[in-house]
A and B are shown apart, each in its own frame.
Chain A
Amino acid sequence: MARIFAYIEHKGGVADDSAAELAAAARKIDPAASPTAIVTGWGADLDTVCNSLKASYTEVWKIANEALAYPNGELVRKALAKVVPHGSLVLVAHDHFGVDLAPGLAIKLDAAFVSDAVAIEGLDGAFLKVVRQEFGGQMSTHVRCDISSGAVINVRPGSFKPIDSAPVNGAVTDKSPEVGVLTSGRRYVGTVVADAGDVDISKETVLVSIGRGIQEKDNVAIAEELADAMGAAVSCSRPVVDAKWLEKSRQVGSSGQTVKPKVYMACGISGSFQHLAGLKGNPFIVAINKNPKAPIFQVADVGIVDDLLEFLPELTSKIRELK
């Protein structure tokens, strides 16, 4: 069985949630596997992360390089290509970083590449059986990947539940010397932070969230009324921002805000994974959607099939009556 690596993203000395998910994914490939965490970065933050990973990974490869102080996918790829043994399996989170790093990494390692895996069904000889989705999540597909010369696998965040297991006593191996000088034709210049907007939805405990089902800008008021009656804030999915019905700061999703509310009303939201990726913690999700087949009903706690344009106003007035 090939060695399994998990590339760990981190920020401010804290490993990303995906660290535990990747460990779980590795177990799906091989239940006996003991994946190696591989972390790049620079300075004290990197050390802090590596130390924290010792509890869940038996081996942690640290690559400290000043050029990697900011995770530039191009440079990380070069570093990994130098240290990862040929034939290994490398797991990466399928997010803005993983999408940037992984396909090119697969080429450099001469390995196969599987993108956005939502489930791993195990090995079949030299083939790994993976489940993916296509057509915006409307269809699922079984994929067979020849891993005989290794593979890079992007794992969809939130698809693999972290396994509760006893802490291990891992060791940190410093792989930095093997990497050498890193340069790239792409240079990080800075990060432009999105406008905060008038409301920070990431701090809200109750959210009334709208999607394409709201149909037009004038209907946004319906959600605002409900939010007002509930003491909540309004958030949304990407199509609503693309259509310019709400500002970007209201968007929940992988390219928007991450929110951790107690209660999340998903109104007219289909439930694409990019949207759900922004929903963390374990909120009580209520889904209201005209389409009984909407994927959101898979993840919601309570589901109602109804026209939100009619349901929400009635809900609002009922709530107001009770006050």
Chain B
Amino acid sequence: MEILVCVRRVPDTAENEIELNRAGNDIERDDLVYSINEWDNYAVEEALQIVAKAGGNVTVVTIGSDEDEEVLRREMAMGANQGVLITDDAFNGSDGKGLATILKAFVQKGKYDLILTGVQAEDGSAQVGGMLASLLDYPFASLVNSIEVLDGKKLKISREIAGGNREMNEIDLPCVLSIQTGINEPRYVGMRGIRQVASLEIPTYGASDLGIDEGLVGVGAAKVQRSDYFVPALGKGAEMLHGSREENIENLIGLLKAKGGLK
């Protein structure tokens, strides 16, 4: 099975302090450490597990610049057969549809049975997978938390829905799935593994290589654009108890009694 996983390099969620920069128009990016988007990592692990059983190859692709190569290499160290970097100045500022358009062009250059994305990335939009499927006219399923290969033509998948329940679906190949965290336990990628892939070839593709009409991508075509970042003025919020611990406990017990919290 040929699997393509679309990945993204994002500021690491655990190892950074996200703060507004001095100009107030972006987050403070000095001192940020980046890593692969957590959801995408689960997707790559899932792809690796599928080909381990069913045979095939895993390709990881990202849209960005040279800096983004490091996540491709990390996933290759994890076991992905090939990494691909799609880069072109014309792509800068693309919105979700722009990114999906670019990926669509890449997908159509190859022959993939299964395309995986993470459910969402750092901006929480959760859109590229669904848009890509729609542009390709492939069936789509989001929030996938288990995959079973039924045969070369279809999969049995489950989607995460409310209440911890799972919605079971059958889906035809080729299809696009967005993968939810917790679907598996991603293997560890050691530093040695990363060193071993440090000099492997990563092909790059630009707009002309993929035959993309530049009018459809980039900041010019983006219908949705971010104006700024801000930290919302804190509303009324909670009534904060500022006393000593004993005082707070006493206060709290009083409130709990009044609200029926103590039986």
Tell whether A and B belong to one assembly: yes
Chain A interfacial positions (CB closer than 8 Å to B): 72-74, 77, 95-97, 99-100, 102-108, 112-116, 129, 132-136, 138-146, 149, 151, 184-194, 205-206, 230-232, 242, 248-249, 251, 254-258, 262-263, 265, 284-287, 296-306, 310-311, 314-315, 318-319, 322
Judge whether A304 and B241 touch: CB under 8 Å: yes
Alpha-carbon distance between A113 and B129 when the two chains are bound, in angstroms: 13
Complex CA distance for A303 and B124, rounded to whole angstroms: 27
Q: When the two chains form the complex, which single residue of B123, B142, B171, B228 contacts A100, counting CB atoms closer than 8 Å?
A: B142
CA distance A149 to B252 in the complex (A): 53
A189/B237 in contact, CB under 8 A: no
Interface pair B161/A96, CB less than 8 Å apart? yes
B58 at the interface (CB under 8 A from A): no
Tell me, in angstroms, the Cα distance from A116 to B126 when the chains sit together. 9
A95 / chain B contacts, CB cutoff of 8 Å: 162
User: Is B167 located at the chain interface by the 8 A CB criterion?
Assistant: yes
Query: What chain B residues lie within 8 Å of A112 (beta carbons)?
Result: 95, 97, 223-224
Q: Are A116 and B124 in contact (CB under 8 A)?
A: yes
How far is A222 from B190 in the complex, measured between Cα atoms in Å?
36
Q: Are A142 and B170 closer than 8 Å at their CB atoms? A: no
Shortest beta-carbon distance, B241 to chain A, in Å? 5
Across-interface contacts of A142 in B (CB, < 8 A)? 226-228, 230
Residues of chain A contacted by B263 (CB below 8 angstroms): 206, 230-232
Instruction: Tell me which residues across on chain A come within 8 A of B163, comparing CB atoms.
Output: 193-194, 256-258
Asked whether any CB of chain A lies closer than 8 Å to the CB of B253, the reply is yes
* B51 CB–A CB distance under 8 Å: no
Judging by beta carbons under 8 Å apart, are B140 and A104 in contact? yes
Dominant secondary structure at the A interface: mixed
**Per-residue contact bits, chain B 136-153, to A (CB 8 Å; 1 contact, 0 not):** 001111110000000000
Closest 10 A/B residue pairs (Cβ) = A231-B263, A185-B139, A103-B130, A303-B238, A194-B164, A263-B261, A104-B134, A107-B134, A112-B223, A300-B238
Say which residue of A115, A192, A242, A248 sits within 8 Å of B127 (CB atoms): A115
Q: Identify 15 residue pairs between A and B in the complex whose beta-carbon atoms are under 8 Å apart, listed by A's number.
A: A103-B128, A104-B130, A104-B140, A105-B134, A135-B13, A135-B27, A143-B225, A144-B227, A146-B224, A192-B166, A206-B260, A254-B162, A298-B237, A311-B249, A314-B245
In the assembled complex, the CB of B117 is this many whole angstroms from the nearest CB of chain A, namely 11
Interface of B (DSSP majority class): mixed
Beyond the given A102-B130, A304-B241, could you list 8 further A-B residue pairs with CB under 8 A, ordered by the A residue number? A103-B126, A103-B128, A142-B226, A184-B139, A186-B170, A284-B259, A302-B255, A306-B245
Q: CA separation between A64 and B41, bound complex, in Å?
A: 40
B119 at the interface (CB under 8 A from A): yes
* Min C-beta distance of A262 to chain B, whole Å: 5
Residues in chain A near residue B181, CB distance under 8 A: 242
Contact for B135 among A107, A286, A296, A302, CB less than 8 A: A107
Are A136's CB and B13's CB within 8 A?
A: yes
B228 to chain A, nearest CB (A): 5
| Pair B231/A186 contact, Cβ less than 8 Å | no
Query: Given the interface contacts A249-B164, A298-B235, does A185 sit within 8 Å of B175 by beta carbon?
Result: yes
In the assembled complex, the CB of A46 is this many whole angstroms from the nearest CB of chain B, namely 19
Which residues of chain B have C-beta atoms less than 8 A from A254's C-beta?
162
Contact A319 B167 (CB under 8 A): no
Bound-complex Cα distance A74 to B181 (A): 22
Of residues 151 through 199 on chain B, the ones whose CB sits less than 8 Å from some CB of chain A are 156, 158-172, 175, 181-182
For the complex, is B86 an interface residue (Cβ under 8 Å from A)? no
Q: How far does the Cβ of B59 sit from chain A's closest Cβ, in whole Å?
A: 22
Residue of B nearest to A74 (CB): B139
A294 to B: closest C-beta gap in Å: 10
When C-beta atoms are compared, the residue in chain B nearest to A94 turns out to be: B126
Contact B123 A230 (CB under 8 A): no
Shortest Cβ distance from residue B136 to the other chain A in the assembled complex, whole angstroms: 10
A230:B261 contact, CB within 8 angstroms = yes
